[in-house]
Structure 1
Amino acid sequence: MNVVVREIRKNDIDEVMEIERMCFSVPWSKEAFLLEITKNKCAHYAVAEIDNRVVGYGGFWVVVDEGHITNIAVHPDFRFLGVGSAIMEEMLNIAKKKAVTSMTLEVRESNIAAQALYKKFGFRPVGRRRGYYQDNKEDAIIMWKYDV
């Protein structure tokens, strides 16, 4: 399967929302995504497509020289096919172009698959946010990559 990663467009939002609802117990609203891609000048979002179907997305904010990954998700039917890796590669490429030197993110303690993806790209756990997730008060693992 050929995965194509490109900048998100407004007409991708419905497919992104479908994935968002499948992947997260507390999904972002459609309005939040629209604000991110139309108004937030710090935000950079990409989608992954297979056969012209959006199967994943990811985004991050640039604050001075740091990047903060806000979200990354892959449709459950398309996991373990390299989609998440393709999205991460694109986000890191964009970050380099924006002179980002380090990146951070929070990930659920129970999300071992996501942690493995991040570790593959050089992110390392450095801390914990206790009770971070609203739905079940699960801890978040804080991860950093210092050599973008």
Structure 2
Amino acid sequence: MRPLQDHLRNRIRSPTRTLQLCPTALDRLLVNRPLICRTLCEADVATVADFDRRYLGGMWSEEGYQRELTSPNSEILLLATPPSTFSNAGETRPGETIAAWGSFWAILDEAHVTLLGVVPEYRQQGLGQLLLASLLQRAIARKLRRATLEVRKSNQAARSLYAKFGFRPVGERPNYYRNPPEAATILWRNKLQTSTTAVAIANLWERGRDRAYQCGWQLID
């Protein structure tokens, strides 16, 4: 198998190549990792709460995620691998690994995006874009008209992602974050219930899926 991988590396370095692959995909090219988008369940809570503490500074506790499970106004989605995976970053079921998670609250006619996290080893692979598009599609299906969120002022990668989806800054919340303390920029996205918005989000979903595929992921139903 190694000679074939070496051959693929040479093809990827070729100036005539058409397929763009991120480096982490090279050794996984022969076996794409399956990826599913699904809702949070009871078995996921401990793992997601641990990720929250490690990667988001402790936004929600395990009890907080438990409450979200029973709230009719909360949507929490995961990008996860079914059994047969390449990483033990966070296993919630035998052989299953969570790669990203996100949520929003439905408040009147607004979707308040409360969380969007990607496990560090899976960043820059299209998963954040794919997950945000999926959340906004859920918001559209709920007939919500606008979306809002808070983001760290210093988080340029996240702000760039939200800008792709039409979020614009409208203000700040001082001392909003802990670990480390920092102000939040408030972002809004209006006009969710238009055909133009639906098409734009669908296109961003497809680009996220394609980027994930180039990095070795295979999105399945």
TM-score, with structure 2 as normaliser: 0.63
Are positions 1:77 and 2:121 aligned together? yes
Q: 2:101 aligns with which of 57, 60, 63?
A: 57
Q: How does 1:130-141 map to 2 (within 5 A)?
A: 130-141=174-185
In the alignment, the residues of structure 2 paired with residue 103 and residue 134 of structure 1 have an alpha-carbon distance, to the nearest angstrom, of 23
**Any conservation in 2 of the 1:22–1:75 contact (CA below 8 Å)?**
no
Normalized per residue, the structure richer in strand is 1
1:25 Cα offset (Å): 1.9
The answer on 1:147 being equivalent to 2:191 is yes
1:115 aligns with 2:147: no
Q: Which residue identity is paired with 2:75?
A: H
Aligned to 1:26: 58
4+ long deviations beyond 3 Å: 134-137
Take 1:135 and 1:78, find their aligned partners in 2: how far apart are those partners? Answer: 22
**SS of equivalent to 1:85:** helix
Structure 1: stretches of 5+ with no match in the other structure: none
Which residue does the alignment assign to 1:91?
Answer: 135
Aligned partner of 1:45 among 68, 72, 76: 76
Letter in 2 for 1:32: G
- Does structure 2 retain, via aligned residues, the 8 Å contact 1:3–1:83? no
Q: Which structure: larger Rg?
A: 2
RMSD of the TM alignment (CA)? Answer: 1.5
How far apart are residue 37 of structure 1 and its match?
A: 1.2
CA distance in 1, matches of 2:34, 2:165: 21
Q: Give a deviation string over 1:31-70, Cα, whole Å, max 9, x none.
A: 11011112x2211110011344111100000011111011
Greater helix percent: which structure? 2
Q: Which TM-score applies when normalising by structure 1?
A: 0.91
The number of equivalent residue pairs is 147
**Do the aligned partners of 1:128 and 1:142 also contact (CA within 8 Å) in 2?**
yes
Query: Structure 2: which amino acid aligns with 1:28?
Result: W
Please list the CA deviations of residues 13-32 of structure 1 after superposition, one character each: whole Å capped at 9, or x if unmatched: 12212321221223411011
3-state DSSP of counterpart to 1:139: strand
Which whole-Å CA distance do the structure 1 matches of 2:68 and 2:59 have between them?
A: 14
Contact 1:19 1:74 in 2 (8 A): no
Distance between the aligned counterparts of 2:59 and 2:132, measured in 1? Answer: 20
CA gap of 1:135–1:85, structure 2 versus 1, over 3 A, is same
Letter in 1 for 2:74: A
Give the Å deviation of 1:2: 4.7
In structure 2, the gaps of 5 or more residues are 1-32, 86-95, 193-221
* Structure-2 separation of matches of 1:80 and 1:2: 17
| Amino acid in structure 1 at the alignment position of 2:124 | F
Q: Distance in 2 between matches of 1:80 and 1:147?
A: 28
Aligned match of 2:46: 14
